[in-house]
Amino acid sequence: MDRIDQLRVFLRIKESGSFALAAQQLALPRATVSQALGQLEARLGVRLFHRTTRQVSLTQDGEALVERAAALIADMAELEQQFRPQDDLVSGRLRVEVPSRIARRLLAPALPGFLLQYPRLQVELGSSDRMVDLVREGVDCALRVGNVQNDSLVARPLGYFAMVNCASPAYLAAQGVPLDMADMAGQAMVGYVSRSSGRQAPWCWQEGEAERSMLLPVHASADNAETYIACALAGLGLIQVPRYDVAHHLASGALQEVLPQARPAPLPVYLVYPHRRQLSRRVQLFHGWVQGVLQQRTDAMWPPVQP
């Protein structure tokens, strides 16, 4: 293993906080990772990590090396890219984290076209529906829906997902079709519970520039989009959901839109990645591709123009 690769191993151990995780993320045997770090420490004549059975932490010399190592690797990547500018030669593994419904309904069906265009790439599409730590878990980039509040990430806007209020025809036949917000008395909603906070989202809508919310009776709740939509299809209440996610149900009549004049605010969607001096060409290519995939499903206005 050459010196640049040894520095890559060093940075991956630092970012993941674990030899085992670093080996997994680099697709290397754990022994190879340990050997690479040992060779780097021997070459530099310093110890780079404090090692215990429970954790790995940087020594003072390791702290001093981090920034220089990251800069060297970025410079090498830039140099290699300068002499290999053809995008179809870009290779390697690209780890992307995407909300499961977006992965299943939008990205996975379009992914063969991306890989046909860039056949040397290997895409690892994660869709765990949890807030992944990109640096610690070695993820190159992620799609995030909603506002991004993390100063350690670069967030590139991809547009907005329009929202829709809907319910099953059976529910509306039993409870009546609400024509305005005054008709919401006596209606029920399917609850959506945040996995991170445990709180249930209220019913939201926009009135001009203002965003309003209220609580409705809840007979069933869910903590993921799949079950949330399934509850609406079963007639358990009204839901608020991105239009792309139920467009096929609306077209078939399995769900029916209500209160189009009182929808929630559109949800912003971003591609996020860690702050780095040099953004990899793999992420740049994925950014351009995913923007095209989502173009037909998002409102490109920034910010959106309200009707």
Asked, colleague to colleague, whether 3-83 and 87-159+267-295 share their fold, the answer is: no
Q: Which CATH code is given to the segment(s) 3-83?
A: 1.10.10.10
Give the single-character DSSP code of 35: H
Q: Compute the distance between CA of residue 133 and CA of residue 25 in angstroms, rounded to an integer.
A: 13
87-159+267-295 topology per CATH: D-Maltodextrin-Binding Protein; domain 2 (3.40.190)
Mapped onto helix, strand or coil, the DSSP state of residue 126 is strand
Domain residue ranges in the chain:
3-83, 87-159+267-295, 163-262
Q: Compute the distance between CA of residue 291 and CA of residue 15 in angstroms, rounded to an integer.
A: 28
Three-state SS letters, 127-189: CCCCCCCCCCCCCCEEEEECCCCCCCEEEEEEEEECEEEEECHHHHHHHCCCCCHHHHCCCCE
> To which CATH superfamily is domain 163-262 assigned?
Periplasmic binding protein-like II (3.40.190.10)
pLDDT tens digit sequence for 152-194: 788 999 999 999 999 999 999 999 999 999 999 889 999 998 8
pLDDT tens digit sequence for 204-257: 999 888 899 999 999 999 988 899 999 999 999 999 999 999 999 999 999 999
The answer to whether 75 and 69 are in contact (CB under 8 A) is no
Please give the biggest Cα pair distance in the chain: 77
Q: Compute the distance between CA of residue 168 and CA of residue 234 in angstroms, rounded to an integer.
A: 7
Of 123, 121, 6, 26, give the one whose Cα is nearest residue 73. 6
Q: 304 pLDDT exceeds 50?
A: no
Over residues 79-100, the mean pLDDT reads 75
The answer to whether 266 and 294 are in contact (CB under 8 A) is no
The answer to whether 186 and 176 are in contact (CB under 8 A) is yes
Give the single-character DSSP code of 251: H
